[in-house]
Amino acid sequence: MVKLALAFILGLTFMSPVTAQESKAFIAWQPCDTPDKMLETMSKYNETPLFTGSGIQFAAEDNTPYRGDSIFFVNQDTGTWSLISVYPDGTVCMVAVGKEFEPYSATTNKSGEKG
C-alpha cells in the first residue's frame, strides 16, 4: 500500500506543471572606457563614491565570469547615482545609472514605490 501511494505521488509530481520560477538572464550592453573618462561622467553629475565592493559579472554571450571591483557613486543632493565596475586590466564599465537615490526604508515596497 505504501509503495502504491508513493508511486501515485511521484506520478503526480511528474505530471504537474513546473511551478518554480525558471532562471532568467538579462542581456545588457555596458559602455566601457578608461578610468579618467568614466570618472568625468560622475564628476559632471557631482557624484561621489558611497561604497565599494568586489564581485563577479557574467558575459552575456557565453556566461564567462569576470572578477572586478564595483563602485557606487551618488549625488545626495540631486539623487542621481552611477554604478561602475573596474576590472583588473584597468577597464572601467558603466553597469547602471539612475535617479531618485534615497536610503532604503521598510515602507518602500519591492517596486520602489512608497506605500
Show me where the domains of the chain are located.
34-98
Mean pLDDT computed over 16-39? 77
More confident residue, 25 or 43: 43
Local structure of residue 114 (DSSP, 8 states): B
Strand, helix or coil at 37?
A: helix
Residues 65-74: contacts with CB under 8 Å, at least 24 apart: 70/95, 73/42, 73/47, 73/48, 73/49, 74/47, 74/48, 74/50, 74/101
Q: How confident is the model at residue 86 (pLDDT cuts 50, 70, 90)?
A: very high
Which parts of the chain are beta strand (E)? 32-33, 48-58, 65-74, 81-86, 92-98
Mean pLDDT computed over 77-95? 94
- The pTM of the full predicted model, rounded to 2 decimals, is 0.68
Mean pLDDT computed over 94-101? 93
Local structure of residue 90 (DSSP, 8 states): S
